[in-house]
Every structure is written in C-alpha cells, then in structure tokens.
Amino acid sequence: EDTTARRKDAHLDLCATGDVEPGQNSTLLECVRLVHCAMPEMAVEDVDLRTPFLGKTLSAPLLVTGMTGGTERAGTVNRDLARLAERHGLAFGVGSQRAMAEDASRAASYQVRQVAPTVALLGNIGLYQAVRLGVDGARRLMDAIGADGLALHLNAGQELTQPEGDRDFRGGYDVVESLVRAFGDRLMVKETGCGIGPDVARRLADLGVRNIDVSGLGGTSWVRVEQLRAKGMQAELGAEFSAWGIPTAAALATVRRAVGPDLRLVASGGIRTGLEAAKVLALGADLAGMALPLFRAQQAGGFEGAEAVLGVILAGLRQALVLTGSRSCAELRQRPRVVTGELKDWLAAL
C-alpha cells in the first residue's frame, strides 16, 4: 500500500476507538441556552426542516462532513453514510480525494452515486493539494464522483503535527481565488476542527467564497490524532496543541457577524446531538455538520447503527424546534437565546 492509503487507515483506526476528542476541549455550545416556550401552539409534524444546499433541497439542515476514501474499508464507510444521507435527505461529503488523485485505482472507494443518486454531494481536497492539482485536476476529481460541489480543506494545525506534513503555508488565498473563479458557489472552504475565524472568513468572502464550514474546536482533534501517531518532538507538540483552535460556537457566531446574512455557513466540530444542532442553527448556521459520531456508529453497527444514531439526532432537533415554538430554522433564528460564560469573552474579543 502507498503511504497516503496507509496513513488514512491508521487515521480511521484512531478515530474509531482512540481518544481523539480531548476532554478539555469544548465547542462552547454549553454557553448557549435556547429559551423554552411553554405554549408551542404547533404539532411536531409542523416542523419543516427543508434547507437549500448546492442547488438541491435537503430534508434536514445536516451535512455528513468529509471523512474518508482510498481503501476498501473507506469505501464501505462512504457508501453506508451516503446511503443514509440519501434516505434522510441530508448532504454528504467524501474525504480527501488525494488518494484517488495519486492512484486512479482507488477511485471506486469514493463512488457513492449508485447508492445515493440524488444526494447533495461534496468532493474534497486539501488547500495545498489543490496547488499541485490545479483547477483542471480538481474538476476531474469532482466529475469522477459526480459531485455537486467541492470542499477545500484547511488543516495547518494537523500538518504541523505530522512528521511528513506541510511546513509552508504561503499562497493559500491565491489558490482559493482561482478555485472560486472556476467553481463559483459550488466551492466550500472548510477547516478540520481548529476553526475558521472572522478575519479569515472576511478575506474568503471578499474573494467570492459563498460557502464556509467553520469546523471549530470541540470535537475531533486532528492535532490529537496526529499526536497519537507521532513520536518524539512531534508527539510533544501534538499534546501541547491538542486544545488549539477556535471553539465551534465562537467561530460560527463571529464569522456570521463578519460576513453578513447571505454567505452559507456550516457549523461542524463537536456537534453530537440534535439540541446542539439546533443551537448552531439558532446562532446563524445554515447547516450543522457532523463527522465522528456517524463514523463511529457506522463502524460499530454498519448502516443500521448509523441510522439509529441519526434518528436520535433528528428527533432531538425537531424537539428543540417545537420547544422554542419554531416551525422552521428561519423561525428558530428569530427566537431569543442566552449566551453566557467563555463564549461571551470570545464574542467580545473577536
């Protein structure tokens, strides 16, 4: 096996069972309280979660964010979770397509259209792979899997913790600019668990980026994943920076404030329940994104295991809307909310 595929398999093992969500990290969503409405004056079935995304209409404002591809095991994860997204009307992203860019025989593990013909589907490449691939290479990767959009991932924290990772982060905005020109509103820029803050978001928006997944701190930590693989100095640095990042709630609220109402915002990083999804929707996200909980449920119980976990999340989200008296995400956004504690400090500083 080549090194990209071997590294990906080690990542999957660590994410399936390792301590990749350091306990000291928080999304700061515990600092957000939605306000109970004792008289909702609506039925659960009145809740309408439909949300536009990538030219399609989702049944619920949820994105299974990009995780994997490149191996047989990864192919099973992609097909199970894409089928789940198709059945429940969510959006779905494959993981980094670097493995198939390096070796076309790995492409099959990213192919989900046979089980998810209509799902809103995102391809995925890293910012610095995009430099090497160019616009045409990126377009070929998207077309090869029938994707509706392309997620461009940022992961400087992870790279610096990887012995073989990138050390030069210059020229990123130029790459984004060329991809925006090629893909327009089909392009999404995402972090991978350290968060996109308001300054970066504003520059991305100025370049024409229309979709951002803030992917903040509080869930899967890729610095921690690399720490668990590393030795010596890299392992020490990984431990030191495992809590590095902008908490998801802080990234989301400050980015929304910075870029205005029109940019499409996904909030991922540590979203684990329907109530947490409701909180990010109330704070201004258009979609809530999730990776680790659905991956773990799939590893433990296959498609049915993932569907059971998703069922609880969807029920919790609907319950939060009813108990705030909201028929839609737009109404939820109008409801009062209480912001306390450390989140207030972030909102004051950014």
Our CB check for ligand FMN shows the closer of 78 and 324 to be 78
- Return d(Cα 309, Cα 290) in angstroms, integer: 12
Our CB check for ligand FMN shows the closer of 88 and 190 to be 190
- Return d(Cα 316, Cα 299) in angstroms, integer: 23
Neighbours of 167 (CB within 10 A): 8
Which residues contact ligand FMN (rule: CB under 6 A)?
11-12, 15, 65-68, 95-96, 124, 151, 153, 190, 192-193, 215, 219-220, 268-271, 290-292, 295
Provide the minimum distance between the beta carbon of 75 and ligand FMN in the complex, in angstroms, as a whole number. 14
Our CB check for ligand FMN shows the closer of 191 and 307 to be 191
Provide the minimum distance between the beta carbon of 72 and ligand FMN in the complex, in angstroms, as a whole number. 16
- Return d(Cα 244, Cα 83) in angstroms, integer: 34
Provide the minimum distance between the beta carbon of 36 and ligand FMN in the complex, in angstroms, as a whole number. 27
Our CB check for ligand FMN shows the closer of 20 and 47 to be 20
Question: What b-and-e string marks burial along 105-114, b requiring 16 or more CB atoms within 10 Å of the CB?
Answer: ebbebbbbee
Provide the minimum distance between the beta carbon of 81 and ligand FMN in the complex, in angstroms, as a whole number. 11
CA angle, 341 then 259 then 143, to 5°: 115
Question: What b-and-e string marks burial along 204-222, b requiring 16 or more CB atoms within 10 Å of the CB?
Answer: bbebebbbbbbbbbbbbbb
Our CB check for ligand FMN shows the closer of 88 and 326 to be 88
Provide the minimum distance between the beta carbon of 43 and ligand FMN in the complex, in angstroms, as a whole number. 31
Q: Yes or no: say if 4 and 98 are a contact pair by the CB < 8 Å rule.
A: yes
Our CB check for ligand FMN shows the closer of 73 and 333 to be 73
Written as six digits, the tokens of 84 are 């789940």
Name the residue whose CB lies closest to ligand FMN: 219
Provide the minimum distance between the beta carbon of 190 and ligand FMN in the complex, in angstroms, as a whole number. 6
Our CB check for ligand FMN shows the closer of 47 and 61 to be 61
- Return d(Cα 126, Cα 256) in angstroms, integer: 24
Q: What φ, ψ does residue 52 adopt, rounded to 5°? A: -75, 140
164 DSSP 8-state letter: T
Written as six digits, the tokens of 81 are 């979770």
Provide the minimum distance between the beta carbon of 100 and ligand FMN in the complex, in angstroms, as a whole number. 12
Our CB check for ligand FMN shows the closer of 49 and 225 to be 225
Q: Yes or no: say if 123 and 142 are a contact pair by the CB < 8 Å rule.
A: yes
Provide the minimum distance between the beta carbon of 229 and ligand FMN in the complex, in angstroms, as a whole number. 13
Closest alpha carbon to 332 in 343, 341, 321, 340: 321
